[in-house]
Chains A and B, each alone.
Chain A
Amino acid sequence: MTMVYDEALDRFEPVLGLETHVELGTKSKMFCGCKTAFGAPPNTQVCPTCLALPGALPVANAMAIESTIRIGLALNCSIAEWCRFARKNYFYPDMPKNYQISQYDEPLCFDGYLDVEVGGETVRIEIERVHLEEDTGKSTHVGGATGRIHGADYSIVDYNRAGIPLVEIVTKPIPGTDRLAPEVAKAYVTELREIMRSLGVSDVRMEEGSLRCDVNVSLMPRGSSEWGTRTETKNVNSLRSVERAVRSEIERQAAVLAEGGKIVQETRHFHEDTGTTTSGRSKEEAQDYRYFPEPDLVPIAPDTAWVAELKAGLPELPSVRRKRLQAEWGLSDLDMQAMHNADAFDLVEATVAAGAPAADARKWWMGELARRANETGVPLADLPITPAQIARVTELVASGALNDKLAREVLEGVLAGEGTPDEVVETRGLQIVSDEGELLAIIDQVLADNADAAEKVRSGKIAAAGALVGGVMRASKGKADAARARQLILEKLGVSE
């Protein structure tokens, strides 16, 4: 049984917590030189170190340390002056060592925050810690149901992913989001993803697991100040799922509590198809992992001058950039949101940098090209056309060499692989008819073919001129300047607007 969301929120207040894992985009693994490519054939990116063969020792990847510190700085964290890796011991075959190298009570970065915008309001999410660990291997479970002779359950494991640097970003508990809890959770993960992209530390593809999110939710009765028992939902693999998982878990917990039941502290799994969570294993107590300082790795003591240098070298952060672009381009919140959703900022900014007016750049990317991207199911950035080419088309329109209709044909030609905008104009013959004599000849022909309409205009029914302009556009295959054609038609028929 679940309770509908509004009723659940009338009776309870949610407290959120988010744990996000980001696989770093380093060339090699965290503690060895194996490659980190996604989707490689099984067990082709493994070596004695990440397979835990006797005698192999880990050495930390300098780039992974640097990336983690940059993430911490971008999230306004303090950077540890001295910290250690720790062994997290557990019995599970996804790590061949029987432990995972992680960090425990000495994270590399701590006490930061991230501001996110939800419904026009700024919500500050406090960051508890950002630490560095290694990713685990991938297990595939083979069940008796597959018809094996002995019907025995077993798993098969690929260790390509084992040892890829993984950054864990943990928020402090987030109270006070009230009804906006699902939106806040989604906005936080979205903003985190943007920051990782701007830092260039990860490809943050949720569908490939390089960005993964665990969602903690607890409820307390309205008016209470004592937080309830939380659950941790895993397997949340898209931004939309983050929102749905929070919502569904609020509804489920509310129903349990309303019937006098108790929430069990446990791991739950989110199911994309139903949008609900089911119970996983009960959460092992923290001390069961028997953390202790990793003896095979020496402590990390980031030099303060180096940290200052990394801080100075941070790129413009996404929220700052959005504010700047909105001011520069003079766009509404709604336009900015649409561009954000379409992932169009880089493209429009590059088009403006190539010389196009912002309004035109936005018009083409969010209009014709967004439509095309939608139709073909391709991300906007993957369309076979460059910002410089869009800038060239806007230039041709501004100079009067093309009208909007011809410009659309030029874009179509470029997208079809017919070459640059200038080449498409040339090969398709898309220049506006700028030769007045040629235009007048077309007009004479259209007036002769449409004597009735011409007569109506002559007698003062200027509205009828539209049909004549349409005739000229058709006869010129769209290459006439419609405004100029109208002007010439009216002159010829001896009337004025």
Chain B
Amino acid sequence: MSAITRDEVAHLARLSRLALTDDELDHYATQLDAIIEAVAKVSEVAAEDVPPSSHALPLTNVFRADEVRQSLTPEQALSGAPAVEDDRFQVPRILGEEA
């Protein structure tokens, strides 16, 4: 049985601004299910003595000194932009929202 519902896929699609057809919603629900099932295998080996962790290495406090480094030039920075105006990245307006 499917753990991920069509509605949940539709919700995720909306958050990602993806327009999915009904067929695609079903398709991705099945795929997401398979992914979650695979990841859930981790909990099979989790035991009381294994604390949950978010990082692979037991490191803390990795900082850099507050020092300025060379930035890119605007030409370099904008070289990969699909569109540029006034040395700024030009992007489609997100309708219905204000900054």
**Contact surface of A with B, Cβ cutoff 8 Å:** 26-28, 32-35, 41-48, 51, 53, 59-65, 82, 84, 89, 91-94, 96, 139-142, 152-159, 269, 280-281, 288, 290, 292-293, 295, 297-302
- In the complex, which residues of chain A have a beta carbon less than 8 angstroms from the beta carbon of B15? 89, 91, 288, 290
Give the CA-CA distance A27 to B72 in the complex, in Å: 17
Partner of A269, one of B69, B71, B96, B98: B98
- In the complex, which residues of chain A have a beta carbon less than 8 angstroms from the beta carbon of B96? 281
What are the interface flags for B2-19 relative to A under an 8 Å C-beta threshold, 1 for contact and 0 otherwise?
000000000000011100
What are the interface flags for B68-99 relative to A under an 8 Å C-beta threshold, 1 for contact and 0 otherwise?
11111110011010000111111111111111
- In the complex, which residues of chain B have a beta carbon less than 8 angstroms from the beta carbon of A298? 55, 57, 59-62
Flag if A156 contacts B54 (CB, 8 Å): no
Q: How far is the CB of A399 from chain B (nearest CB, A)?
A: 49
Flag if B16 contacts A44 (CB, 8 Å): no
Known: A61-B66, A154-B93. A141 touches B60 (CB 8 A): no
Flag if A84 contacts B64 (CB, 8 Å): no
- In the complex, which residues of chain B have a beta carbon less than 8 angstroms from the beta carbon of A269? 98
Q: How far is the CB of B10 from chain A (nearest CB, A)?
A: 13
- In the complex, which residues of chain B have a beta carbon less than 8 angstroms from the beta carbon of A140? 88
Give the CA-CA distance A348 to B60 in the complex, in Å: 46
Flag if B98 contacts A42 (CB, 8 Å): no
Partner of B62, one of A60, A63, A142, A153: A60
Q: How far is the CB of B44 from chain A (nearest CB, A)?
A: 21
The secondary structure that dominates the B interface is loop
B67 within 8 A of A: yes
- In the complex, which residues of chain B have a beta carbon less than 8 angstroms from the beta carbon of A157? 88-91
Q: How far is the CB of B94 from chain A (nearest CB, A)?
A: 6
- In the complex, which residues of chain B have a beta carbon less than 8 angstroms from the beta carbon of A142? 85
Within 8 A of A (CB), among B18-71: 54-55, 57, 59-71
Task: Report the number of A-B residue pairs with Cβ-Cβ less than 8 Å.
Answer: 139
Flag if A34 contacts B66 (CB, 8 Å): no
Known: A157-B89, A157-B91. A141 touches B68 (CB 8 A): no
Count, chain B residues at interface, CB 8 A: 40
Give the CA-CA distance A115 to B97 in the complex, in Å: 37
Flag if B67 contacts A91 (CB, 8 Å): no
Flag if B74 contacts A44 (CB, 8 Å): yes
Give the CA-CA distance A93 to B88 in the complex, in Å: 12
Partner of B71, one of A44, A53, A94, A280: A44
Known: A42-B87, A139-B99, A156-B91. A301 touches B66 (CB 8 A): no
Known: A46-B71, A46-B72, A141-B93. A59 touches B88 (CB 8 A): no
Give the CA-CA distance A303 to B96 in the complex, in Å: 46
Give the CA-CA distance A214 to B14 in the complex, in Å: 27
Q: How far is the CB of A303 from chain B (nearest CB, A)?
A: 8
Partner of B69, one of A28, A84, A141: A28
- In the complex, which residues of chain B have a beta carbon less than 8 angstroms from the beta carbon of A92? 94, 97, 99
Give the CA-CA distance A165 to B55 in the complex, in Å: 23
- In the complex, which residues of chain B have a beta carbon less than 8 angstroms from the beta carbon of A64? 66
Partner of B94, one of A84, A91, A96, A156: A91
Q: How far is the CB of A162 from chain B (nearest CB, A)?
A: 11
